[in-house]
Amino acid sequence: MDTPRSVTPDAGRNRNTHPYAVVDVFADRPLTGNPLAVVTDADDLTDAQMAAIAVEFNLSETTFVSRPTLPGADHSLRSFTPGGDEVGGAGHNALGAWWWLVTIGAARAPGAVQQLGGRALPVHIDADDGVLTIGLDQGPVELAEAPVTAQALGEALTASDPVRLDPTLSPVTGSVGSTHLLVALTSPRDVDAVEPHGPALARVLADLGAEGCYVYSRSGDASAGHDAYCRFFNPTVGIDEDPATGTAAGPLAAHLHRLGLVGDRVRFLQGSAMGRPSVLTIDVAPEGTRLTGRCALAATGQLHL
């Protein structure tokens, strides 16, 4: 019997390689929180390649790290969704990237500056007692009333039972770089009952100039120990549901703070409905919001392009 020939794969032969990591954000152990792909050394990648890589990873966001062009910035970050769309704002897409940059020695405590969406934003790095925590200044928050009817929201958010809006909190839009619709429901059970109708929700969001929808409740046992229980949907960029959304949590924290319903430090529970519970901590100050969280490493590897 002939001895089988060994076959040497040609992966990487005459190709560029780029290291990547999969980081679980707002998590203290792997396979929880919100998974993020981080691609470093991305200076030579085109927009089309970055979009295609994000489609390949098929996570809610993939972040690419390259050299900055703004004075004073340490790294430039760009993030793409599984639909190949580029998104802005300092959320889990940036927090997980900075956690990985510190882990591999490409950034050091106590702080740095990131170039993100054309803005230079401070990054706060805390490595006390060997536990790495990242804080991101999200910048000023923009809030506005959302002229949307209960009927339109009901058609967009539920497939069967009527949506039960919280009568004490009107829908608003909020932005720290990406605009989202913030909708209060009466209880965590109502939040869990949401089954978005993608086309209808996309129409509502388009009319409001918003990307995604953050539904939340401030009442009930499910939110014990947290200021709200939340879920996030973004059909406009191909995200059915996101386990943790910093760019929505920041505006919601500022909105509730402005109404006098929460203190300066706010905690939201998100992702439980997906089996990936995530706790987002937001500090609210006159100059804007700061998002804080920890991460866990899930995987590393090489892209061969």
Burial of 63 (0-12, 13-18, 19+ CB in 10 A): buried
Packing angle between helix 198-208 and helix 150-157, nearest 10 degrees?
140
Strand partners, 230: 216, 270
- How far is Cα of residue 92 from the mean position of the Cα atoms in its chain? 4
- Among candidate residues 71, 175, 47, the one with its CA nearest the CA of residue 119: 71
Q: Which two tokens stand for residue 178?
A: 């990406």
| C-beta separation of 182 from 174 below 8 A | yes
Cα distances (Å, whole numbers) of residue 33 to 22, 164, 189, 295: 12, 28, 21, 8
Of 56, 61, 86, 142, catalytic? 61
Residues 273 and 118: beta-carbon distance below 8 Å:
no
Is residue 241 part of the annotated active site? The answer reads no
Handedness of CA 180, 59, 34, 200 (dihedral sign): positive
How many residues are listed for the chain in this entry?
A: 305
| Cα→Cα distances 251→25, 116, 130, 143, 292, Å | 19, 17, 31, 7, 14
* Positions marked active-site: 61
